[in-house]
Chain A
Amino acid sequence: MKHEMDALVATTARLTDADVEALALQSAEADLMEEIMSAPVLESVPDVEQPRRQWSGGRRLTALAGAAAVAASVLFTVQAGRDTGTVWAAEVLEVAEAAPRLLLDHPDWRMWHVDEFSVDYGVMVFTDGAGQFQLEWMPLAEQPPITDSDPYAAVEESITVVGREAVVRRFDPTPGPRAEADLDPLYDAPAFVTEWDQGGYRVSAWGWAFADQDDYEEVLGALREVDVDDWLSAMPANVVRPDDTESVVREILADIPIPAGFDRAGIVPEAGVTAHSELGARVAGAVVCAWIDQWITATETGDVNAVEEAATALAGSHDWDVLRKMAAGGGDFPAVIWAYADAVNNGTTLPDGSAVDEVIPAGSVEGDTVLTERVYVYETALGCDSIAEMARS
C-alpha cells in the first residue's frame, strides 16, 4: 500500500506503466533504436584518461539551480582535530551566533556533511557509518506549533531535548512489497523526527535507519549545546572558511586560463561556509561561461583569433584539476562543461542535439517567469546566470 498522498498523486497520472506497456509500439521502437545507433558515439581519444567514478548523484544534465547544487551530491569527510586560535570571519560568526549550536557528543557518531549553512537555514548530517542523524534549523516564525498532531505519525510523544520541550514522532516505512534491489535501508526502516523551538528557530532532528526508538533517543540524548569555537571547529575539513577562500580560488585557477576582462573578485562568495566542490564549480563555471560567451561573440563578429583562443581554453578544461577531482568524486558538473568544450572544438552539437549558441527566445516561460530577453541555453545549463547572481548578492 502506498502512502495516502502518493496514492492520490498516482490518480493524476495520465497513464500507468501498464497502459504504456500495452501500447503496440514494438516496430516503431525497433526503428528508433536502429536510427539512434546509426548516430556517432561521443568517444574519447585513447590518451585521454576519462574520470571513472561511482554513480552517486545521478547525472545532473539539467539546468543547475546554481553551483551549490553541484556540491549537494558530494559527501564530505570529517575534520580531525581542532584548529585552535582560528579567527572566524564575520559572516560565519553571524551564523554561529544566531543558529542553534548543537553537536553530537557520542563516541560512535561523527559529523558527515553540511548541506546548508546560513542564518536562515542549516542542515548538518551525522553518521555512525550506517544510520544518519540530521539536524536542521529554520526560522520559527514560519512553523506551526510542534504540538500540532501529524496524521502520518505512528508515535507522538513529549520528550525533553537539550533542556527544551520537544515532540518525537515515528514514521513507519511505506508498506508493500519491494524488489530486493530497491531496498533502501534508510527508507525502509522507521524514521524518527524530534522537533523543538530554540532561540527563534525550529530545530528538527531526523533519525534514519535506527533499530528502534530507544536507539534513536540515545543519540538524541547526546546532543550538546556548544560555544562558537567548538561549533565552527567541528565543520567538515573540506568546508572552506571565508578567511581562506581567496587562497583556494587562486589554487583552483592555477591551471585555468581566464579570458580578458574576467572579474576574479566577482566570483568569491562573501558569506557563509562554502564547500570546496561548490567553490570549484562556481569558479570553473564562471570561467567556462566567460569563454563560451567569448566564443559565441567572436564567432558572430568573425574574430578568428578570439574564436581560436576560446576553443583552445575550453579544450583544456578536460585537464583542469578542479574538474577532474570533481568528476572523480562523483560530481556531474564537469560532464556538462566537457560536453560544451567538445561541441565547440568538434564543431558539433551537444549530445542532445542542441547547438552551443542555442537560445531560449524572449517570451518563453521559465517557471513562473516570462523571459523579457533571450537567454542562451548554456547560461542556464551551466548556471552562468546564478553564478553571476551569487556574485552580486
Chain B
Amino acid sequence: MHDDVRGNERGRRVSILTGAAADSTNQPAARRDRFEALFVAESRAILGYALRRVDQAEDAADVVAETFLVAWRRIDDVPPGREGTLWLYGVARRVSANHLRGVRRRHRLAERLREELMTQLQPGDNAEADAVQLVREAMHNLAEPDRELLQLTSWEGLSATEVASVMSIPAATVRTRLYRARNRLKAELAALGWPREHPLGSGHVGGDGHLPVWPKEES
C-alpha cells in the first residue's frame, strides 16, 4: 500500500557532497577560516572531554577526529559562539557513547594524534587516593544519566542551561535532576562509609607532559 507516493525526482532536493576528490581548494575560504577558528578554540576542550571518558587515552584521538569531522562536514550548521562549543560537546557525547558501546572507528586521519597520546599519556602508576576511589565507586553506583549530569557539570564546568543544550533536555529538568543526582551521590557516599579519614587528594596527575593517569575503571 503506497499512500501518496509522490513523484520526487531522485536527488532533486537531496544534499550533495562537494569536493568528492577531496580537493580542498574548492572549499570557500570562509568555511576553512571558520573551521580553523573553531578547531583551534575548542579542540583541547573536546580532547579533554574524550580523555575523561575513554578507557585508552589513544582512543580519545578518534573521538576528537570524528567530532571535528562532523563539525567540518556540517560547518554551516554549527552555531556561533558558545552555542558552537555546546554543539561540539553534543556531538562528542554521541561519538563517545558509540565508542563505549563498541561502535569504534579507527580514523586514519587521527593516526598522528593517537600516537602522540599513546606516547604522552602512558598507563603507569595507578595509585590513587582511597578517597578518590571511593568517590569513583559511588559515581559508578549512580544511574548513567545522573553520572553524566554530574560529570558535565563538574568536569566540563557547564551550567544547567548548557548541560540542557548538550543533553537536549529542558533546563528545568536538568536543575531538578542535578539536585537529585547530588543528593543520590551523597547517599551513595554515605553508604560506602564516607567521609573517610584519608584526605582527598587530586584524582589526576599534574600536567608535566607525561601523565600516568589511567586507573582501570570497572564498567
Contact = CB atoms under 8 A, between A and B. Distances in A.
A333 B2 CA distance: 24
Contacts of B44: 17, 20-21
Contacts of A182: 82, 159, 162
A30 B175 CA distance: 38
Interface residues of A, number: 115
Most buried by A among B14, B43, B205, B211: B14
Interface string A139-171: 000000000001110000000000000000001
A208 interface: yes
A14 B186 contact: no
A191 interface: yes
A15 B117 CA distance: 13
Contacts of A33: 35-36, 39-40, 43, 68
A359 B15 CA distance: 24
Contact of B1 (A29, A61, A69, A258): A258
A335 B73 CA distance: 13
Contacts of B51: 14-15, 20
Contacts of A221: none
A58 B10 contact: no
Contact of A152 (B10, B13, B182): B182
A31 B112 contact: yes
Interface residues of B, number: 124
Contacts of B141: none
Interface string A1-44: 01101111111111111111111110111011101111111111
A253 interface: yes
Most buried by A among B2, B73, B182, B202: B73
Interface string B14-46: 111111101010010001100110011001110
The 9 A-B residue pairs whose C-beta atoms are closest, nearest first, are A22-B207, A62-B94, A35-B109, A58-B165, A9-B154, A11-B203, A20-B48, A60-B168, A19-B207
15 contacts: A6-B154, A16-B48, A23-B116, A31-B112, A40-B20, A43-B16, A43-B76, A62-B90, A187-B175, A257-B5, A316-B6, A342-B15, A346-B15, A360-B102, A365-B102
